[in-house]
Amino acid sequence: MQDTLNLFVMNIGQWLSANLGTLNNPDQIIVEIARWLRTEFGNWGVVGFILANLMATVPLIAVFSGCFALTTWLERKGLGRIQNRYGPNRVGPYGLFQPMADGIKMLLKEDIVPERADKIGHFLAPVIIMIPAMTGLVFLPIGRNIIAASIDSALLFFFAIGSIVSLSVFMAGWASHNKFSLVGGMRAIAQLVSYEMPLILSAVVVVMFVGSMNTSVIVEAQQIKSWVTSDAPALQCLGQVLGWHVFQPWGLMGFLLLFVSALAEANRSPFDLPEADSEIIAGHLTEYSGFKYALFFLAEYVNTFAIIGICTTLFLGGWNGPNIRPPWSDDPQALLIPGFVWFFLKIFVLMGIMIWIRGTLPRLRIDQLMGFAWKFLLPLAIINLLVAGCFYHMEWYFGWPFSILILCKSYAIVVRLNKSKLVNSNRTYTYA
């Protein structure tokens, strides 16, 4: 074992000296190291095979759990500041060690399982909720060819995996044998199943335009090729940004629909009925404590990251961002700033918006939630599909006004249809 190790170290030194000289595309450093490691593991046999697979997945889980810790801190700080108070500022500078403190607290807390709960279901629920959360991350193109698995039907796989969440939430609700969690479980299934329809339909628009469900192809399609390959750096920057789908009329509507149903899929603010703390204490999480609760929490946040990641890849141009081709490099596709910087920036911006929404909006009732999905989001998604189809075949000077007109009109019609008689009759208050 000793000689393979120093052989390994010697190779590293050799490789570094060879490559650092040219550095013709700076954002590919990680990809170069990964490719080189994979060739190195190749000749290690079975151990190498396992290590190569781990290399693809372990950094993913580590990075997104780190993002989870950062978002809990961001959320508590953001909500604090919205409510005119400091966020956590005792543990570490500006409270940065607060997620660690929470983690340790969760580890040390006693894990109470109610006496009448059926143990197997109670134990399995957090395990099963981790599977869709983590596998959802596999299809996110974090940087230029930094992706765990770029398979052909990536998007479809993502939505298929997403539907398992409702199963585990119901198992948690059912297994803890508590009336509030039973109600929470039922609400969760109803909500998750009925919000998958708008989610998938608003994502289909992008597949229709790009022609493939492979996420890295979708992200590539969001660059204006002619501008990016031109020489002027300004044009390169604009090429990377203006190509995003969100700047198309159908893209903007699709993005809004996708973001709203993502809020519902991830049980975030206006739709957090499964664990509505003012009505049914903590919904399906009532009987969980200690590390199982932390697992549920981690899975929920990682699930939110996965769905926000899909939002950015589909509409906000995944790792595309205003960066230019480094002048010293000859490779036309090289980029100065690595792609994952933009990807994580967009994720945290969307997360910030979710925190902002959580700080402001109250909760919907269960029947309004259903009504909102089936009578508001779904028709708009279908109309958006129709408009995108026409937009695809029209010239741009016909397409833009047509789609903008149709989308706004349909939004107004659907709003009027949903306005019930008694509700929002604007109230007059007589003064005696």
Partner 1 sequence: MNGQGILKGMLVTAKNFFGSYVSRERLTTVSYPEGGNTIKEQSRNIPFLVFDGEDPVAGMRCTACQKCEKACPPQCIFIEKDKDERGKALQRPKVFDIDASVCMGCQICVEVCPFESIWMDSNFELSTFNRFEGLQFNREKLLKSNTYFHKIHPQQAQASDDRLAEKERKRLEREAARRAEKSASEPQV
Partner 2 sequence: MNTSTGYAPRNYKIVKHKDKTLLEVAMGPHHPSTHGVFRMDVKLDGETIIDLIPYFGYLHRNHEKLAEDMTYFSTMPYTDRLDYLCSMTNNWAYALTVEKLANISVPERAEYIRVIIGELTRLVNHMLLVGFYINDLGAIGTPLLYALREREKILDLFEWASGARMMCNYLRFGGIREDVSDEWLASCNKLVDAFPYFLDEYDQLLTGNEIVISRSQGVGVLSKELAINAGITGPMLRASGVNYDLRKTDSYSIYDRFNFRVPLGQFGDCYDRFMLRLLEMRESITILKQALRDIPKGEIQSKVPPVLKPKPGEAYGRIESPKGELGFYLVSDGSVNPYRYRVRPPSLINLTLLRDLCIGHKLADTIIIFGSIDIVLGEVDR
Partner 3 sequence: MIITFCILSVFIIIGAVSTIRLHNIVYAVFSLMLLFSAIAGIFLLLMAEFVAVAQILIYLGAVGVLILFAVMLTHSVTGSSGKNIYSNGWGWGLLLSLSILFATLLPAIYFSDFPSDPAVEIIEPSVKKLGMEMMHSCVPAMWLIAILLTAALIGGIVIAAPPQKR
Sign of CA dihedral 184, 185, 188, 194: negative
Instruction: Write down the least CB distance from residue 414 to partner 1, Å.
Output: 9
Stretch that binds partner 3, among 37-45, 91-99, 115-123, 342-350 (CB under 8 A): 115-123
What the block records as the tokens of 103 is 């983690």
What's the DSSP call for residue 145? T
- Does 211 interact with partner 3 (rule: CB under 8 A)? yes
Nearer to partner 1, 208 or 361 (CB): 361
Instruction: Write down the least CB distance from residue 200 to partner 3, Å.
Output: 9
363 binds, among partner 1, partner 2, partner 3, none (CB under 5 to 8 A by kind): partner 2
Nearer to partner 3, 99 or 132 (CB): 132
Instruction: Look at phi and psi of residue 257 and say left if phi exceeds 0, alpha if psi is from -120 to 50, else beta.
Output: alpha
Nearer to partner 1, 151 or 256 (CB): 256
Distance (Å) of CA 29 to CA 23, 26, 116, 279: 8, 6, 55, 51
Considering only the C-alpha atoms of the chain, give the largest distance between any 2 of them, rounded to a whole number of Å.
95
Stretch that binds partner 3, among 74-82, 97-105, 118-126, 258-266 (CB under 8 A): 118-126
C-alpha span between 322 and 336 (Å, rounded): 10
Contacting positions for partner 2 (CB under 8 A): 79, 82-85, 115-118, 177, 179-180, 182-183, 270, 272, 276-281, 358-368, 420, 422-425, 427-432
368 binds, among partner 3, partner 2, partner 1, none (CB under 5 to 8 A by kind): partner 2
C-alpha span between 208 and 213 (Å, rounded): 9
Nearer to partner 1, 177 or 375 (CB): 375
What's the DSSP call for residue 277? T
Instruction: Write down the least CB distance from residue 95 to partner 2, Å.
Output: 18
Residue 230, CB-side half-sphere exposure with 13 Å CA sphere: 14
Q: What angle do CA 250, 217, 232 make, to 5 degrees?
A: 85
Instruction: Write down the least CB distance from residue 315 to partner 3, Å.
Output: 21
Residue listed under structure tokens 């060690």: 97
Nearer to partner 2, 190 or 206 (CB): 190
- Does 360 interact with partner 3 (rule: CB under 8 A)? no
For every residue of 70-106, DSSP letters joined together read: HHHHHHHHHHHHHTTS--S-SSSGGGTTHHHHHHHHH
- The interaxial angle of helices 290-315 and 119-136, nearest 10 deg, is 30
160 binds, among partner 2, partner 3, partner 1, none (CB under 5 to 8 A by kind): partner 3
Residues from 129 through 168 that contact partner 3 (CB under 8 A): 151-153, 156-157, 159-161, 163-164, 166-167
What's the DSSP call for residue 373? I
Instruction: Write down the least CB distance from residue 241 to partner 1, Å.
Output: 24
- Does 195 interact with partner 3 (rule: CB under 8 A)? no
CA 97 to chain centre: 24
C-alpha span between 277 and 362 (Å, rounded): 12
Contacting positions for partner 1 (CB under 8 A): 78, 81-86, 89, 356-357, 359-361, 411-412, 415, 418-419, 424
- Tell me which H or E stretch contains 384: helix 378-393
Cβ atoms of 263 and 269 within 8 Å: the answer is: yes
280 binds, among partner 2, partner 3, partner 1, none (CB under 5 to 8 A by kind): partner 2
Instruction: Write down the least CB distance from residue 401 to partner 1, Å.
Output: 22
Instruction: Write down the least CB distance from residue 116 to partner 2, Å.
Output: 5
C-alpha span between 260 and 354 (Å, rounded): 10
- Residue ranges in contact with partner 3 by CB under 8 A: 118, 120-121, 124, 151-153, 156-157, 159-161, 163-164, 166-167, 170-171, 174, 186, 189, 193, 196, 211-213
